[in-house]
Amino acid sequence: MTKLTIDGQQVEVPANTTIIQAAELAGVEIPRFCYHERLSIAGNCRMCLVEVEKSPKPVASCAMPVAEGMVVHTRSDKANKARNGVMEFLLINHPLDCPICDQGGECDLQDQAMAYGSDRGRYEENKRAVKDKNMGPLVSTIMTRCIHCTRCVRFATEVAGVQELGATGRGEDMEITTYLEKALTSELSGNVVDLCPVGALTSKPYAFSARPWELRKTESIDVMDALGSAVRIDARGREVMRVLPRLNETVNEEWLSDKARHACDGLQYQRLDKPYVRGANGKLKEATWAEAFAAIGAKLKNVAGPKVAALSGDLVDAESMFALKQLMTSLGSANIDCRQDGAAVNPAVRASYLFNSGIAGIEEADAILIVGSDPRREAPVLNARIRKRYLRGNVQIGVIGDALDLTYKYQHLANRADALSKIADGSHAFAQTLKNAKKPMIILGMAVLSRADGAAILAAARQVADTCGLVKDGWNGFNVLHTAAGRVGGLDVGFAPGAGGKDTRGILDSAAKGEIEVVYLLGADEIDTAKLGKAFVIYQGHHGDRGAHRADVVLPGAAYTEKSGTYVNTEGRVQRAERAVFPPGDAREDWAIVRALSDVLGKKLPFDSLDQLRAAMRVANPIFAALDSVTKAMWSPFGTAGSIAATGFDYPIKNYYMTDSISRASRTMAQCTEEFVMGGKARTGTHG
Amino acid sequence: MSVRQLAKEQPDSFSFKPEYAERAKRIIAKYPAGRQASAVMPLLDLAQRQEGWVTKPAIGVIAQMLNMASIRVLEVATFYTMFELHPVGKHHIQVCTNLPCQLRGSDAVVHACKEKLGIGLGERTADGQFSLMEVECAGACVNAPMAQIGDDYFEDVDATSMRKIIDALKRGEKPKAGPQNGRVHSAPLGNFTSLTDEPKPAPMQDMAAAKAAFEKAKADAAAKAAAPKT
């Protein structure tokens, strides 16, 4: 520990901190542009200059380590004068076009110029102008505004792991650009917009659409992947204008994936805003709620409970699944499943479907085995965490599956799944690596569990966990990486086949054979709707996607931004998404739709408000009582031993930008698909 | 200096010729394993020596050879002004126009080049033989004005000698580099203007006289101290 004085205040900080970090601990704020606590230190903006006694010149506090007995003045005349000078130089080449700049109102340069800027400039020469660069469909560039802090370059290189951004030229002619002006091929590229302290990099889809002070801000949870990243939803009127990350050290730090950030325009298109009933002519016809419920009632009257089934989708909140489960039980059906892809996790054993070590646990791991998972596309922010661990060194990463570009180096152990059994019986060299590690972990992807032999692979992974010491005191390195935000919540409320009930495969097979006559799809779009056969399909959801096209009755629900809903992320963290805007038209919150339907069917559910429902849910599963925290799962037996087919994996995410009904409706995501997935091939002469 | 960007028209491919590839291999071998990226500057220079300038495919090839991202190589290539990013002539004439050279008449040298070659600064002759550029101080101020052609410094040039050099290059000769007005290196033209005599040994100090003076001063001080105070 080192003792030093900052603005007359004695502080004691660890020896390797810098002055700016020590000042932060002491509660003293120092202005900065280039310094960012999650990026390497550049020290090139000079805004954080402070006066240090016995030092002949002002010192850049972000790059100067503390020393014993140092006396620092952050608000002395000398420090202020130095910052005024820096600000004057920064503003020489800055266009001062704040009135037409999207960053206006939330701009670091604007804010700090209020404190350190002069009310007039002394510079009389011409300002420089810089050509704007192409950085793809998400990041808009106005490079004349750039102050060369290089935060974006450091983010791309260090966090995102794509070395595509750089600073060319030197001095006044320095320019930030991607190599040959290609789009930034990262699933985290939107974060450079947040990092940019000026308006040089701004959000392209959000350009010129709103000012920060006219937006209504709602703190919520993202559902585009299973991480449950903390987000802030900015809305104006009935429209979600943008989604920004919030700080949550245990989940997303302060990053957000591009889909979570930019798929929000999909909430405006393809929405179900009225109930529909399929008429005699085979076409869906607008109806009232009463007509839709009556149609369902008429059908269900003549169908026995076991001939009814329900499937829930990837974006569904725990409350509505809980309500639907109660309804299905009262109808006498045990055919319910929240695993649209048929993932072979054991709903009865919570440890079999959680990311047990926790997302932050990745930073402690020293050996990581990734099996059939593509974390870069399945959970980009989690992948950044693995990369962060990789950059710190002393970690062994092994991959079973395709040799994908994960932004870090790893040992490619095998392409095919049967290699896992070799690790399980100890005949593979990586088994020893896991055994020698202090905190080893395995990450199982959905490509593993949704295979036909998923249960056998799960058993083999369980065996790896037991034989290689993945589970020990205070450490459980058995991790399942989900792709669906609603999955863990669904399993936690028990939205899985009851006694004698059928799972997703069973339901679809029976429906195709006509054994199941009514299928209730709660936001389930990722199934093969052709397999539903002649079944009467009720679709409840927010987008006119695959499920709604097949449906006989459509019940318009609310998207995640339009309801208060509980989601449990892949590590088992119970979090709540809050309502930012109201659902469009006649659409209602999903739990309320199920409750109203139950009344019509004469099976009235025992709750009249969301609070009552949540109380019932807490009784059914106490983990829902602990909001924003993880309840550790018991390590109990699971998995069914069996033979593993020597085949590769079929990864669930083929196109990162379109994985669910919201992102499929999003125009921004369509542009990204064209640019990154189709490689710009779709461009024809008519495109700009 | 202006914004340095890659040339619009680029060749399709680049590869080191065998002798250059051999040199590249030797350069890379100088650096410890995992630090091969250190060889980026010598390799860019090698590519420039082979092609005359640094091409876009060359940047890609070097990035691949050193296991670097292309943008990192581009950053280096655009940072250093001695990497040519546009095609230059076989004889690339760089005239210094910084203050000492300008005071000694670099304007006339530039004018002579322009007139002789029919091109302006930053341009290349149609036959691709010559290109002309003005540069910042090349560090030969004592022989100002100067011009660099290829790797050679031509110092103490004036309009006449510059024309002669260009004529010689046009004939395919190799003009003599160095001072063009008869100076030897940076020695003065003609006779020496200072230090013309044989150097004399430094005058020896008379130690005996110095000692006597010291002893006298000491005695005076002692006498003064012993004298009764008035």
Answer whether B78 sits within 8 Å of A168, measured CB to CB.
yes
Percent helix, strand and coil across chain B, each rounded to 5?
Answer: 45, 10, 45
- Prediction ipTM score: 0.87
The answer to whether the CB atoms of B74 and A165 lie below 8 A apart is: no
B10 to chain A, any CB pair closer than 8 A? The answer is no
> Do A163 and B4 make contact, defined as CB atoms within 8 angstroms?
no
Sequence ranges of the domains in chain B: 18-79, 91-179
In whole angstroms, give the CA distance from residue A584 to residue A517.
Answer: 31
Q: Single out the residue of B111, B113, B124 nearest to residue B164, CA to CA.
A: B113
List the single residue in B2, B3, B74 with the smallest CB-CB distance to A179. Answer: B74
Q: Which residues of A touch B5 (CB under 8 A)?
A: 168
Residue B39 token pair: 């060889």
Q: How far apart are the first and last CA of chain A?
A: 60
Search chain B and give the residue with CA nearest A182: B71
- Enumerate the residues of chain B whose CB falls inside 8 A of the CB of residue A409: none
Enumerate the residues of chain B whose CB falls inside 8 A of the CB of residue A163: 68-69, 71-72
Residue among B6, B78, B136 with most chain A CBs within 10 A, to mutate: B78
Instruction: Look up residue A154 and give its amino acid.
Output: R
Cβ pair A371, A461 in contact under 8 A: yes
Alpha-carbon gap: A685 to the closest alpha carbon of chain B (Å): 22
Give the residue on A whose Cα is nearest the Cα of B70: A179
Check A179 against B75: CB less than 8 A apart. no
Identify the residue among A179, A182, A184, A409 best suited for mutation to test binding to B, counting B beta carbons within 10 A and taking the highest.
A179
Instruction: Give B-chain residues touching A393 at CB under 8 angstroms.
Output: none
What would the pLDDT profile of B171-207 be if each residue is shown by its tens digit?
999 999 999 998 988 888 888 788 888 888 888 888 8
pLDDT higher than 70, residue B230: no
- Beta carbons of A166 and B3 less than 8 Å apart: no
**Among all residues of chain A, which has the CA nearest to that of B68?**
A163
If you measure CA to CA, which chain A residue comes closest to B7?
A180
- B2 CB neighbours in chain A (<8 A) are 173
Please list every residue in chain B whose beta carbon sits closer than 8 Å to the beta carbon of residue A164.
69, 71
The dihedral formed by the CA atoms of B30, B35, B37 and B38, expressed in degrees to the nearest 10 = -50
Q: Which of B4, B5, B70 sits opposite A179 (nearest CB)?
A: B70
- Distance between CA atoms of A562 and A323, rounded to whole angstroms? 18
* Candidates A165, A170, A173; nearest CB to B71: A165
Residue of B nearest to A166 (CA): B71
- Could you say which residues from 27 to 56 on chain B have a Cβ atom under 8 Å away from some Cβ of chain A? 56
| pTM assigned to the model | 0.90
Region class of A570: left (phi > 0), else alpha (psi between -120 and 50), else beta: alpha
> Residue A137 contacts by C-beta under 8 Å, 6 or more apart in sequence?
A183, A204, A205, A668, A671, A672, A674, A675
pLDDT of residue B196: 83
Touching A: B residues 54-113, CB under 8 Å: 56, 68-72, 74-75, 78-79
The confidence score (pLDDT) of residue B190 equals: 83
CA distances from A111 to A33, A226, A437 (A): 11, 36, 48
For chain A, list residues whose CB is within 8 angstroms of any CB belonging to chain B.
130, 163-171, 173, 175, 178-180
Distance from A688 to chain B by nearest Cα, in Å? 21
Would the CB atoms of A163 and B69 count as touching at under 8 Å?
yes
Q: Point out the residue among B1, B56, B75 whose CB comes nearest to the CB of A173.
A: B1
Closest residue in A to B71 (Cα) is: A179
List of chain A residues whose C-beta atoms are within 8 Å of the C-beta of residue B1: 171, 173
Mean per-residue pLDDT pooled into runs of 10, chain A (688 residues):
94 94 94 95 94 94 95 95 95 92 94 92 90 92 95 96 93 91 92 96 95 95 95 95 95 95 94 94 94 95 92 95 95 94 89 94 95 95 96 95 94 93 92 94 93 91 93 92 95 93 93 93 93 93 93 96 96 96 95 96 94 96 93 88 89 93 95 87 48
Could you tell me which chain B residue has the CA closest to the CA of A161? B69
Dihedral angle of Cα A106, A110, A111, A113, to the nearest 10 degrees: 170
From the list B68, B69, B79, the residue facing A170 with the nearest CB is: B79
Tell if the CB–CB gap between B74 and A173 is shorter than 8 Å.
no
User: Which residues from B are below 8 Å from A179, CB to CB?
Assistant: 69-71, 74
Q: What is the pLDDT of residue A681?
A: 54
Cα angle vertex A567, ends A561, A570, to 5°? Answer: 125
Q: B2 or A22, which is more confident?
A: A22
**Per-residue model confidence (pLDDT) at position A687:** 47
User: How far is it, in rounded angstroms, from Cα A605 to Cα A600?
Assistant: 11
Q: Is residue B2 within 8 angstroms of chain A, CB to CB?
A: yes
Residue of A nearest to B57 (CA): A180
Residues of B in contact with A165 (CB under 8 A): 71
- Per CB-CB distance under 8 Å, the chain B contacts of A407 are none
Mutation for A interface: B55, B70, B71, most A CBs within 10 A: B71
Topology of the domain covering B18-79: Arc Repressor Mutant, subunit A (1.10.10)
Q: DSSP E strands: which ranges in A198-291?
A: 201-203, 216-221, 230-236, 239-245, 276-278, 284-286
Cβ separation of B69 and A168 shorter than 8 Å? no
Alpha carbon of B138: minimum distance to chain A alpha carbons (Å): 19
Which residues of A are less than 8 Å from B69 in CB distance? 163-164, 166, 179
Q: Rounded distance, CA A486 to CA A475, Å? A: 25
Structure tokens at A598: 């139950």
Residue of chain A nearest B78, judged by CA positions: A169
Say how far apart CA A47 and CA A124 lie, in whole Å.
23
Query: What is the Cα–Cα distance from A47 to A663, expressed in whole angstroms?
Result: 40
Interior CA angle at A617 toward A616 and A620, to 5°? 90
**Spatial distance between the Cα atoms of B81 and B137, rounded to a whole number of angstroms:** 12
CB B2 to CB A166 under 8 A?
no
| Architecture of the domain spanning B91-179 | 3-Layer(aba) Sandwich (3.40)
The helix-helix angle for B70-79 and B40-51 (nearest 10°) equals 70
Q: Given CB atoms, is B5 within the 8 Å cutoff of chain A?
A: yes
- Cβ separation B69–A167 shorter than 8 A: no
- Local structure of residue A616 (DSSP, 8 states): H
**Given an 8 Å threshold on Cβ–Cβ distance, is B69 in contact with A164?**
yes
Å between A55 CA and nearest CA of chain B? 32
From the list A165, A173, A178, which residue is nearest B4 (CB)?
A: A173
To the nearest whole Å, the CA of B7 is away from the closest chain A CA by: 11
Whether chain A has a CB inside 8 Å of the CB on B221: the answer is no
Query: Distance (Å) from the C-alpha of residue B6 to the closest C-alpha of chain A?
Result: 9
The pLDDT, as a whole number, for residue A680 is 64
